[in-house]
A and B are shown apart, each in its own frame.
Chain A
Amino acid sequence: GAGVSQSPRYKVAKRGQDVALRCDPISGHVSLFWYQQALGQGPEFLTYFQNEAQLDKSGLPSDRFFAERPEGSVSTLKIQRTQQEDSAVYLCASSGGQLNEQFFGPGTRLTVL
């Protein structure tokens, strides 16, 4: 595709529900990243894949957060038993070159009630 796409664009969940957020990277991009952006803040790193391998998950805030990229293309970020503090915009980015120039999708705005 022409750019990184994410779905859904908006998600409202009741506290305690599980959610799954999808990211379609730019075709051929090896690296895929997830970031969390709170209101009025810069994005913060969650996790990073190179092909299907999860190379860094140091930013995941708790074991309720899980990400996968089983075939090295589409990725899913899953949040179990959502809490109000999980409310944020979740951004996905992909990169295909040596310079690590990252291109972002439009994000998924998650609101936990």
Chain B
Amino acid sequence: SQQGEEDPQALSIQEGENATMNCSYKTSINNLQWYRQNSGRGLVHLILIRSNEREKHSGRLRVTLDTSKKSSSLLITASRAADTASYFCATDPPQGGKLIFGQGTELSVKP
């Protein structure tokens, strides 16, 4: 059973455009993490945002977190063809340990 829901399920954009992916979850969290997965590969850790943070930046990535709405968004600015991948949010419940993943957003960036 997965806690998160991601929206949209699939997103297709042109190189240079911005991509926004959203994640909603159901229970309280310690933090929320975003991962990227290229086809047939493992998960690459992108960014972690703590429950007491509202926004975080890393290079072309911007993550926001709204704990009152139990939602997060990942913005990729100035997208590149190499950004084509699936993106997952994962929540870390207060008891720690396992991460609970959403279903993912499949991003396609066309050159």
Determine if A25 is an interface residue (Cβ-Cβ < 8 Å): no
Kindly supply a per-residue 1/0 record for chain A positions 10-45, scoring 1 wherever the CB is within 8 Å of any chain B CB and 0 otherwise: 000000000000000000000101010000011111
A107 to B37, CA, bound (A): 11
Q: Taking CB as reference atom, which chain B residue is nearest A58?
A: B98
A43 to B98, CA, bound (A): 11
Is A107 a contact of B42 with CB atoms below 8 Å?
Answer: yes
A: number of interface residues (CB 8 Å): 25
14 contacts between A and B (CB under 8 A): A41-B2, A42-B101, A44-B1, A45-B100, A48-B97, A48-B98, A55-B97, A99-B30, A99-B50, A100-B97, A102-B99, A103-B45, A105-B42, A109-B40
Given contacts A42-B2, A42-B104, 10 further A-B contacts (CB under 8 A): A31-B97, A35-B101, A43-B88, A43-B101, A45-B100, A48-B98, A56-B97, A100-B97, A102-B33, A102-B90
- Chain A interfacial positions (CB closer than 8 Å to B): 4, 31, 33, 35, 41-45, 48, 55-56, 59, 91, 93, 99-107, 109
